[in-house]
Every structure is written in C-alpha cells, then in structure tokens.
Amino acid sequence: MTRALSDVAVQPAKSLFMLLTVASLLPAVDAQITVVDLIPQTWSNEAHQDCEPNIAVNPANPLQIACSTFTLDTPSGATMSGSVAPLFVSDDGGNTWSINKIIPSAKGKTLPTQDITLRFGGKSGVLYGAILRQADNEFNPPLNLLRTNNFMGPEPMTVLLTRDNEDQPYVEAMTIATGVDAGKDRVYVGHNNGSNAIAAIDLSLDAATSAPPDGFSLLPIIIETRNTSRDGPQVRLAIHPTGIVYGVFYGWRSGDPPVFTADVVVVRDDSGGKSSKPFQDLSDSDGLPGKRVVTGISVPWLNEHLKDFGQERLGGDLAIAVDPNDSKRVFIAYSDGTSATDYTLRIRSSTDGGLNWSTDLQTLSKAKNPGLAINSSGTVGLLYQQVTENDTGQRWITHFVRTTDGFAHVSDAVLADSDASLPTADTSVGPYLGDYEHLLSVQNNFFGIFCTSNEAKFPSGITLKRNVDSKTKHMRNLQNTADVPPSIDPFFFKVIETTNSSH
Amino acid sequence: MTAQNERTQKAGRNSTDYKFVGILGLLLGVFTLCVHQPVWAATLPEQLSLKSDFIFKGTVQRINASTMAAVPATESTIVVRVDEIVQAKPPDDSLRGKEVTVVLRSPGTVKVGQQSIFFANDYLAGNSIAVTEIGQVPDKSMGALNIKESIKSIVKEHALDPLRKRIETSIVIVGGKVVETKSLPQELSEKPESDREPEWWAATIEVQSVYKGTVPDKKLTIRFPHNFALPGSPKFSEGQQGIFLLHHEKARMLPSEVLVALDPLDFQPFDSSSLIKEIVQLQSIVATAPASSP
C-alpha cells in the first residue's frame, strides 16, 4: 500500500504557527511511501523474533533488493535445521519477497547469524555481506566477509575472509566510476576489532571478481588513535561517489557497565583507504587523527530486555551520511544517556568535511536505531524508532523524517505504531527490535528496513503477503485455519520522490 | 515434529536397531530398483536423503515452467504437484496438493505426468516454493515404497545424532532439580567485555540420578550464562527439573574444572530418561569394546 508522505504528517514541532507555515510551504505530494512485510505467504506460520534488519539495494538496478534479519531457516523450527540461513530477496523493487537460503550458518543454532549487514557494489551488481557466523565455538563467532554475484540464485555466498574476535561488522560498498580504478568495487567493513575491542575497518579496493580474500587483508586498519579502555561496538561508514570515506565510532574513554564515558569520533579518508596512513585525513586539536564531535558523553550498556524501554536493550547508536553532491556535507546521529530514562538520539552536521560540527539539530528522547541517508537532491532522510507512553502503556513508533534544510523543518511520517509489550521478548535473543536498522538512498529515492510487531498500526500503509485476517488484523497460519501469535517481522519501505522539493 | 518429540517417541527403543533396519531397508530398496532401473538407482546413496531439505512424491505438471516470477521458466525448470511429503523441514503437510517449481539438475530428464520421488533442497520461498533437485526416483518402480519407508527411518534415526554427540562429549550426566541460582562473588567474576561474553551465574543441582560419570556429592554446582551470550543456552531457574548434560568448556573467567550446560540440548526433560540411558550404555559398550585385529 502506498501513501503520500505529506499526507501523513508535517512536524517542525516547535509551534502550531510553524507547523502551519511549513505545511503551507510543502508541495501537495512530495513522495510516495510503500511499506511491505517481508514474510512471504508460504511462511505464514512464522512467529520468530526476526530482529536487527539490514538492507541492500542495487544502485545499478534498484529493482534488486536484499534484506537480512535474525530469521531462522524454517518458519516454525526452534533452531537452524540446516547450515545456510535466509536472505530476503526481491527483484521487483520490494513489492514481493522470497526467502533464499545462501548465508553461511550452522545447524542446531538458535540464531542464524550473530550479526549481519549487506550492501551491493555500485555498478557491479555484486552483493557483499558481513556476518558473525554461527560456529561450534559460540564463545567466538568468527567474522565472515561474504560475496555473491547472483543473490537470487541458490549457491551460498562465498566467504572472502574469516577472522575471530570481531563484533558488529557493518559493510558499505561502491563502484569507482572514473579514473584508473574505474569499475572496481571498493568494500569497507567497520567493526569492533579483537579482544581489545578497538574501532577498526577492513577494506578491499577491488573486491568483485578475484578469489578470496580478494584484496582484504588479514589484519584490519585500526582507526582509534587515542587511549581507550575499549570502544563501542558500532563503527559506521559513509562513502562519497568520489571515493572519500567517512567513519564514526564511540571511543570509550572510561567506565564499566552499565555506563561508559565516551567521545563520538569521526574519521575520513580522502583516497578511500589507498594511502599509507588510511583514515587519517581528519585531525583534532590534539593533533591526533579523528575529529571528536563530542567528548565525555555517557553511553549506557544495559544488556537486558528493559521494561522501561520497550523490551529493548541499550548500548549506543550511530549513523552517518554524506551528501552525494557535496562531499563536505555530512550528518551523524548518535545516542547518549545513562539509562532508559534519559537515552537521547541526537543529530548533528558538518559542512566542511567534518572539521567543525553543528550543535544538536534534533534531539529525540528515548529513540534509537537511526538510519541516515541523503538523496541526489540533497534531501536528508532519517529513520528511527522511539518509545512513547500513553494510557495503555509503552509503544514503539517508527518514524521516517525528511528535511531539505538541515532539520530546520521536517516532514515526519509514522511508518509503524505498535504495543511495545507484544510480543513478549524472546529471552534467547538479545535484541528485541535490533541493535540497528538501515536507511539508504538510490538516486532521488530512499529505501529502508525496520522491525516491529506484525500487529502494529501502519499509518503510512502496509502490504502483507503472509496470511492475515483482514478484520481482526491477526496473522493466520498457512492453511488459514488458525491465528498465529503476533511476532516481530522485518518491514521494507521505500520513499519515491514524485516532485522536486523546493526548500 | 521437533527432535525432542522424536526423542520422546523413540524412548525405550534400541536406536541401533533403527539404524540397521533403515539402512537395510534402503539397501533392499536400492537393490530392487537396481534390478528395474539401474541407471538412476545407482546414484541413490543414504547420504542423498540426509542432504535433502525436502523429499516428496510428485507428479510433473508442466515442463519449461515455473510457479514463481523470481524463477524464470527455462528448460531446467518444471512444475510439480506435491502428492506426498516424505521428509520436510519442518515436517508439515501444508504443501501436499500444491504445485512447486523444481530446478532440475539436467534438462529433459522428466516428462509431463511422470511420478517421481524428488530429493531436493530449498531454493526460494515466496508466494510459492522453488526447490533444486539433487536426485529423483521414478515412483512406478517396485522399490519406491521401500525407499520411502527407509528414508523416513534414516532421517528419524539421524535426527538423534546431535543429542548423541552431546552425550558422548559430556563429562557428567545427572538428573535432578535446580535448588539455587545466584550471581558469582566479585572475585570469581568479571563483568562481560562484550554482549557475547557470558555473565556467569551458579546453579546448584540437587542430584537425583546419575547417568554418566561420577558425582561425589548429592549437590552439584554448575555455571550458566545469565545474559544473552550464547544464544539458546539453557538459563536455569530454581525449581527447574530435568536431565543435565554437563561439559567442560574453555572460556575467560571459566575455570577448566567447572561444569556447564551450554548447548540447547544439554538440558533434557525427564521424558528422555530411557533414551539417554540407552545411548550412554551403547556408547559405553563401543568405548570399551576391544579393537578389531588388522
């Protein structure tokens, strides 16, 4: 189901006057939103906690989309029945979805992977993945970097690199358009490296075609240059079409669970990691590489299903995006706080390549899972999920926000609104909705993925392929003879710009 | 059917008998087939059924056809009606009577109307199902019935392999009740360094029976991860009763002599008691049997 973004909500949020003013400035229809539940009809019995989603859209053919979540390989089994885990795939722009089991996994495990992110190369059509692979030694699920040139085919993804002691690998990729490296896929994986848990990046400058490890090194590039007890697990990257790469991470400076003191650090490499000192092109006043956007903030580490945060756990959130038309225009999202009560998502920007940063452009209380992207018109998209409370209890609200003026004004669409207590969190799975979700842009359009209850309200519309009772909105089993309990499902969405924004 | 249900159903029966009967049945089936259809029958090892996600009897409806837009029709794709499900993951009957797409190993190996037993792996699941063929046996043969029964026996039998492995690698197996769980004192525990490192807690088990190993006391203290580390590992609580398959594992802040139950199969209901006893006994016999002469 599709709905016009400007029909849904406009939220400059400071006053009714501003609201009306901005609403009058917006074109009648800016963009069309489509939201689709990824669970296919033949998996209507599915009722797992399919959380922590990621998405890849092929820039060369945006009809081709791949998504991942913590989804087991059968609709109703309690553990992996085989050794390959599902990928959600679409070749019609996300209107219909199939499950293709091509992710390396292990039989008998409760989760298909322990982390997974995906990205397509820019023009190659090659899909890359970064996972923490299920293995016999669960104390140390190894990092696997993966590749396939046929994500719709039945062959499992090729393992390019395996390494122990890594956390939260987050992959980005692009194809070099011009110059001597034209046509080569550059792949970057931000992660938390080694037993010391230091922010790091793996990269290959030509990853598409050669045999493993295909340009990846046995050792990663450490991007933390300051004293640290360890860093936060999130390392997020953004690639500009010219090859400039930005990264953002939490440098944990002191503390122990449940609260660390941290800096938010941005690094940059103007040659895409080719130089002898990669990711050191942005320095701070202490002379060290890595610009500290903020210092001495608190970041909670609460590894439990928090009753006062919609059953989710907390450990920091990061996102970063660079304007495809201006490599110096960068936005970041980060969270701080000491507990579920004061956890706050903040948006900041730089217009000089990360040297100087704005104050908070947005502060979103009890919000997490940011996704940031900037489209070819310069419009910034922000995806996030927020816990709110009303008379009936806590709710998870999933927002997609667009702004054309650096968050001075925003148009806000609620994608989903669900009871945060249903379903009850599965105690064998750490994240409830996920430690992350993702937003990206292709040309002028935004594509994203989030997880929430499949019995949520979807104010921007919803398409369900799995069986559902149209009156009660309850999920139904494959035979359509009985209800299936509500569960966490992955939801794809796309925002198609239908007119050029004028502000 | 879950592995646990299968275990419960099979409690009290000799598992080696099953394996013997299953393999014998398959060999008989293959022998019969070899007489009548030697070309394809010769390619039907036991492993074929174990490697298959989906084994079904089906009737070929259309060739050069597909039930899914995501699987373009080619000379390698056929549409098959599922007549009978021999083995599926998970085992349910929901696809019976439905049309599915089969991607053939070799084009031109089937005809419309042909009935076969298809050995296949999952490929795509969307508004329909597509599978990749790894083998097939025409169903008109005299051996087809034997094969189906043999496959069911073999698959059932091998469903117990993971439990057998956990029993074999366990140091101690006891039946009992958890009488206390508590966090460890600070000198025995450090805070986890990541969300994947266990926060170890202690569980005290009041031992009621010993299946394997020796237990010096009526109470046994084990450790278990109290946080989200090691997804699927049993999280014990006071009053919990069952059978504990206890192991030694190497991990930071886990002394080597400490017993743990970290695999989902390491805690079993008392219903599995007979089965676990049998497996322990058989493994003991195998372990103590004299080696055969060269």
In this predicted model, what pLDDT tens digit does every residue of B81-106 receive, in sequence order?
Answer: 999 998 887 767 788 999 999 999 99
Cβ <8 Å between B125 and A42: yes
Evaluate whether B161 touches A164 at the Cβ level (below 8 Å): no
Q: Which residues pair with A87 in a beta bridge?
A: A100
Of B124, B195, B251, the CB nearest to A99: B124
- Quote the CA–CA distance of A400 and A411 in Å, as a whole number: 8
Of B194, B227, B250, the CB nearest to A167: B194
- Quote the CA–CA distance of A36 and A460 in Å, as a whole number: 11
Evaluate whether A39 touches A465 at the Cβ level (below 8 Å): yes
Of B94, B194, B232, the CB nearest to A110: B232
Around Cβ A13, how many Cβ atoms within 10 Å?
Answer: 12
- Quote the CA–CA distance of A368 and A383 in Å, as a whole number: 9
- Average confidence (pLDDT) over A12-37: 55
Chains A, B: CB contacts under 8 A, how many?
120
Probe site for chain B from A44, A71, A79, A98 (most B CB atoms < 10 A): A98
Cβ <8 Å between A430 and B195: yes
Cβ <8 Å between B264 and A110: yes
Question: Which has the closest alpha carbon to A339: A308, A385, A311?
Answer: A308
SS3 at position A236: strand
Of B103, B129, B228, the CB nearest to A303: B228
Instruction: Give A91→chain B minimum CA distance, Å.
Output: 7
Instruction: Give B5→chain A minimum CA distance, Å.
Output: 12
Cβ <8 Å between B68 and A303: no
- Average confidence (pLDDT) over A450-455: 98
Give the dihedral of Cα atoms B46, B51, B55, B59; nearest 10 deg. Answer: -90
Cβ <8 Å between A109 and B191: no
SS3 at position B142: coil
SS3 at position B280: helix
Cβ <8 Å between B89 and A78: no
- Residues of chain A in contact with residue B125, where contact means CB-CB under 8 angstroms, are 40, 42-43, 98-99
- Residues of chain A in contact with residue B230, where contact means CB-CB under 8 angstroms, are 138-139
What ipTM is given for this predicted complex? 0.88
- Quote the CA–CA distance of A115 and A111 in Å, as a whole number: 9
Of B2, B128, B228, the CB nearest to A430: B228
- Quote the CA–CA distance of A210 and A434 in Å, as a whole number: 33
Cβ <8 Å between B70 and A98: yes
SS3 at position A142: coil
Cβ <8 Å between A76 and B90: yes
Of A74, A256, A465, the CB nearest to B127: A465
Instruction: Give A122→chain B minimum CA distance, Å.
Output: 22
- Quote the CA–CA distance of A403 and A13 in Å, as a whole number: 13
Instruction: Give B229→chain A minimum CA distance, Å.
Output: 8
- For A327, half-sphere exposure in the C-beta direction (CA atoms, 13 angstrom radius) is 13
- Quote the CA–CA distance of A101 and A98 in Å, as a whole number: 10
Digit-coded pLDDT (tens) for A459-475: 999 999 999 999 999 99
- Poorest-pLDDT segment among A191-195, A236-240, B3-7: B3-7
- Residues of chain A in contact with residue B227, where contact means CB-CB under 8 angstroms, are 303-304
Give, rounded to a whole angstrom, the gap between the first and last alpha carbons of chain B. 43
Evaluate whether A97 touches A466 at the Cβ level (below 8 Å): no
Digit-coded pLDDT (tens) for A87-132: 999 999 999 999 999 999 999 899 999 999 999 999 999 999 999 9
Evaluate whether A287 touches A324 at the Cβ level (below 8 Å): no
Cβ <8 Å between A154 and B264: no
- Residues of chain B in contact with residue A478, where contact means CB-CB under 8 angstroms, are 94
- In degrees and rounded to multiples of 5, residue B108 shows phi and psi of 80, 15
- Poorest-pLDDT segment among A110-114, A139-143, A298-302: A139-143
Instruction: Give A431→chain B minimum CA distance, Å.
Output: 9
Given CA atoms A105, A106, A110, A115 in this order, what sign does their dihedral have?
negative
Percent helix, percent strand, percent coil in chain B, to nearest 5: 30, 30, 40
SS3 at position B177: strand
- In degrees and rounded to multiples of 5, residue A306 shows phi and psi of -80, 125
Of B125, B227, B251, the CB nearest to A303: B227
Give the dihedral of Cα atoms A224, A230, A232, A238; nearest 10 deg. Answer: 10
Q: DSSP secondary structure string, A413-443?
A: EEEEEEETTSSPPPTTSS-SS-S--EEEEET
Instruction: Give B234→chain A minimum CA distance, Å.
Output: 9
Cβ <8 Å between B192 and A114: no
Cβ <8 Å between A42 and B126: yes
Probe site for chain A from B85, B124, B262 (most A CB atoms < 10 A): B124
- Residues of chain A in contact with residue B195, where contact means CB-CB under 8 angstroms, are 233, 303, 313, 315, 430
Of B53, B123, B125, the CB nearest to A40: B125
List residues in chain B touching A: CB distance below 8 A: 2, 53, 68-70, 89-90, 92, 94, 103, 121-129, 132, 162, 191-198, 227-228, 230-233, 235, 249-251, 262-265
Instruction: Give B194→chain A minimum CA distance, Å.
Output: 8
CA-based nearest residue in chain B for residue A93: B70
CA-based nearest residue in chain B for residue A232: B194
Token pair recorded at residue B224: 């278990």
What are the pLDDT tens digits along chain B (294 aa)? Answer: 333 333 333 333 333 344 443 444 444 444 444 333 433 443 455 667 778 889 999 999 999 999 999 999 999 999 999 999 988 877 677 889 999 999 999 999 899 999 999 999 999 999 999 999 998 888 766 566 677 777 878 878 888 999 999 999 999 999 999 999 999 877 666 777 777 888 899 999 999 999 999 999 999 999 999 888 888 899 999 999 999 999 999 887 788 899 999 999 999 999 999 999 999 999 998 888 776 554
Residue B287, pLDDT score: 84
Cβ <8 Å between A79 and B232: yes
Residue B294, pLDDT score: 46
Residue A461 CB partners (closer than 8 Å, separation 6+): A1, A2, A3, A33, A34, A35
Residue A61 CB partners (closer than 8 Å, separation 6+): A125
Cβ <8 Å between A108 and B92: no
Cβ <8 Å between A96 and B2: no
Digit-coded pLDDT (tens) for A251-277: 999 998 899 999 999 999 999 999 999
Residue A229, pLDDT score: 83
Of B53, B128, B231, the CB nearest to A82: B53
Residue B199, pLDDT score: 87
Cβ <8 Å between A114 and B196: yes
- Residues of chain B in contact with residue A314, where contact means CB-CB under 8 angstroms, are none
Q: Which residue has the tokens 């029709």?
A: B73
Residue A14 CB partners (closer than 8 Å, separation 6+): none
Of B92, B125, B198, the CB nearest to A99: B125
Instruction: Give B263→chain A minimum CA distance, Å.
Output: 9
**pTM of structure:** 0.89
